[in-house]
Amino acid sequence: MPVTCAAASPPSICSDAVLFDTVNSYYAGIARMALEERGVRFTSQYVSMPSMEQLAPWYMRLSPAGQIPALRTAAGETVTDSRSIVSWAYGTDETPNEKELLDLLYAECPGSLAFLTGEATLRLLKVMVRSPAKRLMLTRKIRRLQSENPDLHDIYEKKLAATPSPGSAPAAMSAKHFTKSLSDVQARIQATVDRLDAQLERNGGPWLLGASFCRADVVAVAQLQWVQRCNEYGAAPVVLPEGVRAYLARARERPSFQAAIGQHGEAAFALTMIRDKNAAAGRLLGGLGLAAAVCGAAVVIRRAGAS
């Protein structure tokens, strides 16, 4: 969002930054919304997670953990996790009340709810998660990148160490999500939602800490958006009380939400891509099955004609 910079404005807020992100990343959505909310001029550079671009040498040099998002400020500094990017955008330390809420919100990732929901409802994701071939391909890719980039040897070695055993989730697919149980994640996120509801009722709203939309609201809104989308799949629904639903509806009207998340529609949710690929794979398999049936029928007819 363009801003007019006064002479006394911090240089980091008045210059263009680059956010390395991907549309359907939960944490990238938080970063985009914080930057939009604070009026920071920035451009987004897409990093393709399906093609594992986060493992590319150029990105590993920028963000050695290979995490998305990462922010490169106009001053050349790199900030590499969403909570730090939020703090950078706000330009101040978290207040005690903000910290308490943010600790709560970051204690469980709705991405875990999304991927575990997907594993329970989308056949393709189950195959992707448990495929030994996927793990083998990932290991070979990292080994090749490691040999081609000696300066990144130790960084790629850490990635190899994080690659799990056959039959478990590939590291590039956020293996941390699949070490949890869906019911446990659901229970923890439900507890968070209930705490947010109580906070809104206690403060009287419209936002978590009263009249001003703060950094905790940025994270809460992104989380609730993902929770609501997960609920559409029905695997482990989280109850959103009326007060929380009204809070989310108010937040969706903010320009920062529309610019960071709302304008991307279905694409802003990770399971949308996986669901679409699942449907495409189903159509392909169905087509192959039909072709096989036709070929089989043709063989039977030819044999019958020859007898």
- Examine the domain organization and report whether 146 and 74 are in the same domain: no
pTM of the model: 0.82
- Examine the domain organization and report whether 217 and 193 are in the same domain: yes
Q: How far is CA 18 from CA 41, 77, 128, in A?
A: 9, 11, 31
Task: State the DSSP code for 151.
Answer: G
Amino acid (1-letter code) at residue 16:
D
Q: Given this model, what pLDDT does residue 159 score?
A: 87
State the Cα–Cα distance between residues 174 and 50, nearest whole angstrom.
12
**Residue-range definition of the domain harbouring residue 129:** 123-173
Q: Are 256 and 294 in contact (CB under 8 A)?
A: no
DSSP string, 153-165: HHHHHHHHHHS--
Residue 42 lies in a domain: yes
Q: CATH code at 258?
A: 1.20.1050.10
| Structural domain count of the chain | 3
- Examine the domain organization and report whether 128 and 225 are in the same domain: no
Task: State the DSSP code for 307.
Answer: -
Q: pLDDT by residue for the chain (307 residues), tens digit each?
A: 333 333 333 334 445 899 999 988 999 999 999 999 999 999 999 999 888 899 999 999 999 999 999 999 999 999 999 999 999 999 999 999 999 999 999 999 999 999 899 888 887 776 666 677 777 888 899 999 999 999 999 999 998 887 655 544 444 445 678 788 999 999 999 999 999 999 999 998 899 999 999 999 999 999 999 999 999 999 999 999 999 999 999 999 999 999 999 888 877 787 777 667 556 545 554 554 544 444 554 444 455 555 4
- Examine the domain organization and report whether 117 and 73 are in the same domain: no
- Examine the domain organization and report whether 233 and 191 are in the same domain: yes
* Torsion sign (Cα): 48, 53, 58, 63: positive
Of 211, 200, 210, 202, the C-alpha closest to 244 is: 200
Q: At what angle do helices 182-203 and 215-231 cross, to 10 degrees?
A: 130
Residue 19 lies in a domain: yes
